[in-house]
Amino acid sequence: MNTPNKYKVFLKKALLQANIRINGNRPWDIKVNNEDVYAKVLTGGTLAAGETYMAGWWDCEKLDELVARILENNFTSKIKTPKIILSYLSAFIFNQGHKSKAFKIGDKHYDTGNDLFEIMLDKRLVYTCAYWKNAENLDDAQEAKLDLVCRKLGLKEGQKILDIGCGWGSFLKYAAEKYGISGVGITVSKEQIKLAQKLCKGLPIEIRYQDYRDLNEEFDHIVSLGMFEHVCYKNYRKYMKIVRKCLKNNGLFLLQTIGHDTSTTRTDPWIEKYIFPNSMIPSLKQINKAVKGILEILDLHDFGTDYDKTLMAWFENFNKNWEKISKDYNQTFYRMWKYYLLTCAGSFRARKN
């Protein structure tokens, strides 16, 4: 007589609370390819969930829908594995955003290959949330976001702008072309520098391989789009002090970041290991605390629901153009990147990010 798989029984029952079936026929149901997945996931948490997906132990037609349902039902909060507990302790004890680790994210993620990002992103290579209010496609939505930033700052011709975490120079290039500014962009990615310098050639823009802690000059305005997630909570106040030091008295600082409703000191273990090492999503409370007595918050704008649509557009591009770059990657990478984009889309859909 076969003994029932206790892990399977528990997981099946728990998932039903989120209207998810194992081996069901709906797009968000899970198809199990390896029966060992139940014990692996329940003892290894979200890290194991991602790793077993990468290994092909399970599949799901609509990963984004699956994750949205799981998060809406707070399913992951019911499982506290030793690895999750250790990740909390590690983030509390160690400074994940220490200067000695600043360039790891460049090596691990942004240097993956410009070819990957060129097939996935919009024509301007903006790797942050687009603004879809009046846009129907990714190119227009990203230009709308760049222009929104320029208008919030009130850019004027001749001003000098700093972009902390400039990526491929998309914002500075747009602002120079449309508003006549000059600028400095800093990044920790060698691959981004190569392409950014090429794309910004002929414009009054300097792209540097530099950590934000080494900045020591004044600018009319400062922007940081999608970089603050790599600063980590122990460095938030230091970051704001550096921004203030580099900002002219009448200048504005515009920060675009993913956020959490609640404060945390860690990131998801799978994201930490495979996508964004030494990363952390801040809360508004943490940002408020970091700027107190240094900067004054004048404007808040939440368009987090637009990140769901942005990530789905990125996945569509990545999936459609995969064959163009597949010779330089492998199927495990494809599954990893698919899991990253679609699970993140689901998290924004569930309003957890």
Q: Report the catalytic residues.
A: 344
d(C-alpha 101, C-alpha 19), whole Å: 41
Question: Positive or negative CA dihedral for 99, 100, 105, 106?
Answer: positive
Query: Is the Cβ–Cβ distance between 207 and 193 less than 8 Å?
Result: yes
Give whole-number Cα distances, 328 to 108, 116, 323, 324, 340, in Å: 16, 10, 10, 9, 19
User: What 3-state DSSP class applies to 213?
Assistant: helix
DSSP 16-46: HTTT--BT-SSTTSBEES-TTHHHHHHHHHH
Query: Is the Cβ–Cβ distance between 244 and 252 less than 8 Å?
Result: no
Count the Cβ atoms, other than its own, within 10 Å of residue 71: 21
Count the Cβ atoms, other than its own, within 10 Å of residue 64: 24
d(C-alpha 231, C-alpha 165), whole Å: 11
Question: Positive or negative CA dihedral for 337, 231, 223, 135?
Answer: positive
Query: Is the Cβ–Cβ distance between 340 and 109 less than 8 Å?
Result: no
Helices assigned H by DSSP within 201-283: 236-246, 269-274
Strand partners, 58: 32
Residue 289 phi/psi, 5-degree rounding, is: -65, -40
Pairing mode of beta strands 58-59, 31-32: antiparallel
Query: Is the Cβ–Cβ distance between 124 and 144 less than 8 Å?
Result: no
